[in-house]
Amino acid sequence: MDSVTQFALGAGVGAAVLGRAIGPRKAALVGGVLGTLPDLDVYFPYENPVDSFTLHRGPSHSLFVHAAVTPILGEAIRLMFRELRDRRVLVWAGVYLCLATHALLDAMTIYGTRIFWPFWTEPVSIGSIFIIDPLYTVPLLVAMIWAFCTGGWSQRYGRCVAVSLALSTAYLGWTLAAQEIVRGKAALLYGDAAPVLVTPTPFNSILWKVTAVDRDSYYNAYPTVFGDTSAVPVYRHVRRPAGLACPDGIALFDRVAAFSKGFYRVERKGDDIRIADLRMGMTPNYVFQFRIATQKGGRAVPAAPERVFAARRREEGDLGWLYARLAGKNGMRPAERTYALAGTGPAGQQKKSVC
């Protein structure tokens, strides 16, 4: 999730656990700082942008690493605050919860979080909430701002922070339920012909992106939780273009392909071969795209990896289309209109792979 949300979550947890002992203001500040610590791995000097992409949210997000560092951080906090000198168990619990809730919330997004490292190194990526969702964040911000504006603990503030944490947690539960509802609709759109990814569109949990892949194509559809799927268009896009030299077997290509769990596309720009993770972003502006090879003499030759940034974050007409779909109106996404299929789903669309 975004840094503001993680700070607000940490502040809420910190205030709930430590607020009675040191006051809401200090507790929220300590919790907010602890809640952002796991993301400091973004400053680690990785060898290349692919490593930075695939290894982020690694050990610093592990629940086991959090348990290991809790005594160190907890003892430092006890030394900082006289009121906590005799509250070791309380402090350690607060530290661990601030760190662990950060990782668990990140695991609810689609990026992937290695919460069980080093015993299980595969990232957990549930994908039920967008990386920025105001309905999740606003209750936490209310409790955090109140904490910074109040002088001491009160029953009213205690109820505020409890309600804010309850509302945000309940909203996560709603996103899981909504994802399952849309997953059922994905079966109506695509059948069992291909792997399917179900993720929310930006800033909400009502309109979802449902992506399916086969060998050479990927498909997007945008159903709502409450709407009918019969009028939802399906858009077919090229996943591996004809004439592309096969990059399979190139280490960095294989790493991105595995990290994306197969939801990727490959394209050629001049002689450059690029791979994009289909899970984050919307066609054609995916957040994580990398040049990983060049095409020479019909062969893919490894190249120094380079992250490729989209020219713009959204396409013309996207906001109007998003608002219309959230209001329950059907309509094609302007950026994908020319790719709409006459029928639905990838069944019968599969081709022999170019590789």
CA distances 231 to 32, 325, 342, Å, are 45, 12, 11
Neighbouring C-beta atoms of residue 309, cutoff 10 Å: 10
C-alpha 113/C-alpha 103 separation (Å) is 7
Q: Which of 337, 338, 330 is nearest to 207 (CA)?
A: 330
Task: Output the pTM of the full model.
Answer: 0.93
Q: Which of 197, 322, 329, 203 is nearest to 263 (CA)?
A: 197
The tens digit of pLDDT for each residue in 215-266 reads 889 999 999 999 888 889 999 999 999 889 999 999 999 999 999 999 999 9
What is the chain's pLDDT, residue by residue, as a tens digit (355 residues)? 999 999 999 999 999 999 999 999 999 999 999 999 999 998 888 999 999 999 999 999 999 999 999 999 999 999 999 999 999 999 999 999 999 999 999 999 999 899 999 999 999 999 999 999 999 999 999 999 999 999 899 999 999 999 999 999 999 999 999 999 999 999 888 877 678 999 999 999 999 999 999 888 999 999 999 988 888 999 999 999 988 999 999 999 999 999 999 999 999 999 999 999 999 999 999 999 999 999 998 899 999 999 998 777 788 899 999 999 999 898 999 999 999 986 555 644 444 445 6
Tokens 């993770």 sit on residue: 277
The tens digit of pLDDT for each residue in 40-68 reads 998 888 999 999 999 999 999 999 999 99
The pLDDT assigned to 294 comes to 95
Q: 247-268 b/e with 16+ CB inside 10 Å = b?
A: beebebbebbbebbbebbbbbb
Name residues whose C-beta falls within 8 Å of residue 303's C-beta, 6 or more positions apart in sequence.
272, 273, 291, 292, 293, 294
Q: For residues 220 and 209, is the Cβ–Cβ distance under 8 A? A: yes
* The pair of three-digit structure tokens given for residue 87, joined into one six-digit string: 């509250």
Q: Which of 119, 66, 118, 65 is nearest to 93 (CA)?
A: 66
C-alpha 116/C-alpha 172 separation (Å) is 21
- Domain boundaries, given as residue ranges, for the chain: 3-175, 191-339
